[in-house]
């Protein structure tokens, strides 16, 4: 069986195992409301993870998504108070803000030549600071303000019992799978992540590919922030807390290898579900939120170590198979 399929099945298995454990060890896991809320909560980190997956598959990393989410959410909140503005325009404003943030990251990495780690870490602080600057205040103190624009808050609602953000997440996952597997840009992203120098010698424009990855990542953060702001009817400076590392952890759990060249959008999708299942379990067992950080770090370490061994074994099998074919040919 193809190693890519095996890795996806492993991620799916992890999700199913957690679901079974929580079903038999808690009283409310399978309640319709809990499942609906679980899918909604998964969607924010999941959408961001889809964007981050483009950067990681291309051989990079983006630590700024938390700041982008906070900034985009507050941009949507500010726009929503413009009299008569349609909700779709507010949404587009949030997505465009995210894409601009992604373009800034691309500029820092490809033109200023900062490493992805330093560039996106620094820009994340800047985006968070900008979110604080445009936050609503009363008496000089930052506080949320309820969004009353019905055409915008409608986006945070449900259709047939399913939140709109979850539908968007599924659609985006399908679109991004097609982009990664059926377009020249997707193939170039894999090539760059596998070996940037070889990709460049083969005619891949590494700067354009890397830049587009960051822009997609920023736009995804903007989409997630816009729908969450619509659901909460508010934008807050804390909206993006923990999002960056949760999204990276979701990618790693889904088989997207840190270092690039391997993984896909379906893996990021399953990783997003897995991360929210973990958080849901922490809540169901009434454990301290400290366990969220402990588990987050442990998951990244274990998943990275597992993928290193998994890829080593896969490479060994391919090498042995190629040697057997060569020997048979002689």
Q: What are the sequence ranges of the domains in the chain?
A: 3-324
Q: Which two tokens stand for residue 213?
A: 């990855």
Let me know: does 112 contact 180? Beta carbons within 8 Å. no
Orientation of helix 32-57 relative to helix 65-80, angle to 10°? 120
The pTM of the full predicted model, rounded to 2 decimals, is: 0.90
pLDDT score, position 291: 78
Q: Which fold has domain 3-324?
A: ABC transporter involved in vitamin B12 uptake, BtuC (1.10.3470)
Q: How many CA atoms lie within 13 A of 304 on its CB side?
A: 11
pLDDT at 325: 44
- Tally the residues of the chain: 330
pLDDT in tens, the chain (330 residues): 677 788 888 889 988 988 898 888 888 888 888 899 899 999 999 999 999 999 999 999 999 999 999 999 999 999 999 999 999 999 999 999 999 999 999 999 999 999 999 999 999 999 999 999 999 988 878 888 899 999 999 999 998 889 999 999 999 999 999 999 999 999 999 999 999 889 988 889 999 999 999 999 999 999 999 999 999 999 889 898 889 988 998 998 888 988 888 889 999 999 999 888 888 888 888 877 777 778 778 887 888 788 778 777 765 555 555 444 455 555
Pick from 150, 136, 163: which is nearest to 36 by CA? 163
In the numeric block, which tokens belong to residue 53?
Answer: 């997956």
Q: Are the C-beta atoms of residues 282 and 289 closer than 8 Å to each other? A: yes
């Amino acid at each position: 069986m193809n190693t890519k399929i095996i890795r996806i099945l492993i991620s799916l298995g992890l999700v199913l195992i957690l679901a079974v454990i929580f079903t038999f060890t808690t009283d409310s896991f399978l309640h319709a409301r809990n499942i609906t809320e679980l899918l909604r909560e998964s969607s924010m980190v999941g959408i961001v993870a889809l964007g981050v997956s483009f950067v990681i598959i291309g051989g990079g990393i983006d630590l700024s998504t938390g700041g982008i989410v906070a900034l985009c959410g507050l941009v949507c909140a500010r726009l929503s108070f413009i009299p008569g503005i349609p909700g779709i325009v507010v949404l587009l404003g949030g997505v465009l803000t995210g894409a601009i943030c992604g373009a800034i990251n691309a500029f820092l990495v490809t033109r200023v030549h900062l490493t992805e780690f330093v560039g996106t870490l620094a820009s994340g602080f800047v985006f968070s600071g900008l979110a604080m600057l445009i936050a609503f205040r009363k008496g000089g103190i930052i506080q949320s303000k309820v969004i009353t624009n019905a055409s915008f808050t409608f986006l945070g609602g449900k259709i047939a019992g399913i939140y709109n953000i979850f539908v968007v997440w599924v659609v985006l996952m399908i679109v991004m799978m097609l982009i990664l597997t059926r377009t020249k840009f997707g193939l170039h992203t894999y090539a760059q992540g596998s070996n940037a120098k070889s990709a460049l010698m083969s005619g891949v424009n590494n700067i354009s590919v890397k830049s587009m990855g960051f822009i997609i990542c920023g736009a995804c953060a903007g989409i997630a922030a816009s729908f969450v702001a619509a659901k909460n009817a508010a934008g807050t400076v804390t909206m993006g807390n923990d999002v960056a590392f949760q999204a990276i952890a979701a990618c790693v759990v889904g088989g997207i290898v840190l270092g690039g060249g391997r993984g896909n959008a379906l893996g990021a999708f399953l990783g997003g579900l897995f991360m929210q299942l973990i958080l849901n379990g922490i809540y169901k067992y009434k454990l301290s939120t400290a366990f969220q950080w402990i588990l987050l770090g442990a998951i990244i370490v274990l998943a990275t170590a597992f993928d290193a061994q998994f890829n080593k074994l896969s490479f060994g099998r391919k090498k042995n198979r190629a040697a057997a074919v060569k020997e048979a040919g002689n």
